[in-house]
Amino acid sequence: MNHASVLRLDVAKELAAKYMILGNVEVAFVGGSVARGIADGHSDVDFGALWKAPPTDDERRQAIEAMSNLDTRFVRLFPLDPEENCWQDDFFIGQNRAGERASGLLVEVSHHTSDFLESVIRDVTEKFDPDPLKQNLLTGVTDSLAMIGENRIAEYRDRIRVYPDDLALAVINRSAQVDFYSNWKKFLRRGENLFLIHRQFCEIEEKLLRVCLALSRQYFSTFKWVFQGPDRLTVAPKDFLPRLRSVFSSQPEVGAEVLRNLVHETYDLIEDQFPEAKVDWWRSVFDHERSFWEEPPFPIRNSGP
């Protein structure tokens, strides 16, 4: 664990002690780059808490306000997000320069109920729900360092340790189809519109990353550290990440060819593991290119009477 991670872990330990006093928190953990020991100067503290019952604003605020070196001007308690079934708290510890606005170390706390996590585990591992938000929550648990409820965290990890084949196929079916690949040529002809070209390339790369995570039996997590965590991608085209990176440092024609090869190589990997997948259809959609007409096409003749 590097120095930046150790400093942030100390903050997480202090916060966990505050929640332990409340008594309604069953599990608390630190996740993200701090838990993996690779944090840097940009990193915040990703802290998670699982409650027996929905937390009150008073409970959430009580733990935060007990923290040392708290910058009280920038404490934010957000209401329940119905999509993620999560309460979020943001606050800052210390200041980089006296009086400067929100210049300390950012701490982000995500609150869920234990019942909600149980439902997410069932959705993902039994119903094979490919929803990335649910998978990201499971990744947060598997990669975490437990502050409260270490035995409970170990139980959760054991239940989600095996990534189901049916889940992998569900993720692949959701992400493998790449539409309108040849549009990059249109964007290039229209004044070298690199904004749209790179946006299209980004969308394709994200699909490939999601598919290769599924092929590697890895739950989805954000892409913030994707180039620092290649060990997660055990099934992927050769030199996958360096080739992805090269797309944006190359001329559009070169980058497009790199992506074209990566897509077809990824389809080969899908065929190896899931011969029942619709790979032939995905290839046909990917390779389809609308005609480029400099002159109007010939009129269509009516073959009827």
88 falls within a domain: yes
Domain count for the chain:
2
- What CATH number does residue 96 fall under? 3.30.460.10
Closest alpha carbon to 239 in 213, 265, 214: 265
What token pair was written down for 48?
């998670």
Q: Looking at the domain assignment, is residue 139 inside a domain?
A: yes
Same domain? For 144 and 18 the reply is: yes
Q: Does 295 fall in a domain? A: no
What was the pLDDT predicted at 155? 96
pLDDT, residue 293, reads: 84
Collapsing DSSP to helix, strand or coil, 273 comes out as helix
Which residue from 43, 231, 35 is spatially nearest to 142, judged by alpha carbons? 35
Do residue 41 and residue 143 come from a single domain? yes
Record the tokens describing residue 286, joined without a space: 């990917």
Whether residues 34 and 173 fall in one domain? no
For residue 246, the enclosing domain spans: 166-287
Tell whether 9 and 144 lie within a shared domain.
yes
Question: What integer pLDDT is reported at residue 222 of this predicted model?
Answer: 82
Same domain, 124 and 213: no
DSSP summary character for residue 97: S
pTM as predicted: 0.90
Q: Is the CB of residue 138 less than 8 Å from the CB of residue 120?
A: yes
Predicted confidence at residue 295, as pLDDT, reads 83
Asked if the structure places residue 141 within a domain, the reply is: yes
Is the pLDDT at 305 greater than 60? The verdict is no
Is the domain of 128 the same as that of 99? yes
* Residue 40 reports pLDDT greater than 70: yes
The Cα–Cα gap between 138 and 142 comes to: 6
12 and 126 housed in the same domain: yes
Q: What is the DSSP letter of 43?
A: -
- Domain-ending residue, one of 162, 189, 219: 162
Note the pLDDT tens digit of each residue in 229-274: 557 899 999 999 999 999 999 999 999 999 999 999 999 999 999 9
pLDDT at 221: 86
* pLDDT, averaged across the chain: 93
| pLDDT for res 79 | 97
The tokens of 221 are what? Answer: 């997590």
3-class state of residue 153 by DSSP: helix
| Dihedral angle sign, alpha carbons of residues 78, 80, 84, 85 | positive
Per-residue DSSP letter, 108? E
Q: What is the pLDDT of residues 52-87, one digit of tens each?
A: 999 999 999 999 999 999 998 899 999 999 989 999
Residue 303 pLDDT grade (very low, low, confident, very high; cuts 50, 70, 90): low
Q: Are 8 and 150 within one domain?
A: yes
HSE-up of 134 (CA within 13 Å, CB side)? Answer: 19
Lowest mean pLDDT among 95-104, 187-196, 277-286: 95-104
Same domain, 155 and 180: no
- 120 token code pair: 């997410």
Flag whether 293 is in a domain: no
